[in-house]
């Protein structure tokens, strides 16, 4: 009887440890390598991030309600137009839970960079996004090299320096 009690205790301890540690493990999963996530185009077509392997990629997570996104969105679009010919890929990933709000924002902010959608928020979870907006600069090997959280006009110069550096790498 007492042996069974110990077994039960061991089992419950194991369960307790698992319950506590699993969220820690998932949080630690945000590595420096690009997570293998799948985003959506406006019409629902899936776009795996793995398709951009071998290219310098800027992934920006934004939402219509996020105040700094109103300035970062056009600024990143300008960066896209400037460096597109040199091989830079930019993905503006919208995280609005309601698509209608994203559409209103997009119609008010004309843009050329591709906009993808992730209303369930799987991609920012995998990337370990801590604030809005957050953008990740990924090099040709698929490694996340630079991260920018929040936005102020001052970081524009740094973006350009980092992009030029990554584009020059082989």
Partner 1 sequence: MILTRTRPFALLLLVVGALTAGGCATVQPWQRGRLADRRMMFDPDDAEVAYMTHWQEAREASSGGYGVQSGGCGCK
Q: Which residues contact partner 1 by CB under 8 A?
A: 5, 8-9, 11-13, 15-16, 19-20, 23, 61, 63-67, 95-98, 101, 121, 124-125, 129-132, 134
Active site residue 66: yes
Active site residue 69: yes
Which residue's CB is nearer to partner 1, number 62 or number 83? 62
Min dist CB 117 to partner 1, Å, is: 12
Min dist CB 65 to partner 1, Å, is: 4
Min dist CB 39 to partner 1, Å, is: 13
Whether the link from the prior residue into 133 is cis, omega within 30° of 0, is: yes
Q: How far apart (Å, rounded) are the C-alpha atoms in residues 55 and 87?
A: 7
Q: How far apart (Å, rounded) are the C-alpha atoms in residues 113 and 77?
A: 6
Among residues 56, 57, 58, 66, the one annotated as catalytic is 66
Which residue's CB is nearer to partner 1, number 69 or number 163? 69
Which residue's CB is nearer to partner 1, number 61 or number 83? 61
Which residue's CB is nearer to partner 1, number 128 or number 140? 128
Q: Which two tokens mark 94?
A: 């919208």
Q: Enumerate the active-site residues.
A: 66, 69
């Amino acid at each position: 009887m007492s042996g069974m009690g110990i077994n039960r205790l061991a089992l419950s301890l194991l369960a307790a440890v698992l319950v506590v540690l699993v969220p820690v493990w998932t949080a630690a999963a945000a590595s420096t390598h690009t997570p293998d996530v799948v985003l959506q185009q406006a019409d629902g077509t899936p776009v795996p991030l793995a398709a951009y392997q071998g290219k310098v990629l800027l992934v920006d997570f934004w939402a219509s309600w996020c105040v700094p996104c109103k300035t970062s969105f056009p600024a990143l679009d300008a960066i896209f137009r400037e460096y597109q010919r040199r091989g830079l890929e930019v993905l503006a990933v919208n995280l609005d839970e309601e698509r209608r709000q994203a559409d209103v924002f997009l119609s008010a902010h004309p843009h050329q960079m591709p906009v993808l959608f992730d209303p369930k928020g799987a991609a920012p979870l995998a990337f370990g996004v801590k604030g809005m907006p957050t953008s990740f600069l990924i090099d040709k090997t698929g490694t996340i090299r630079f991260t920018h959280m929040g936005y102020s006009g001052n970081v524009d110069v740094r973006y350009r320096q980092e992009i030029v550096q990554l584009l020059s790498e082989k």
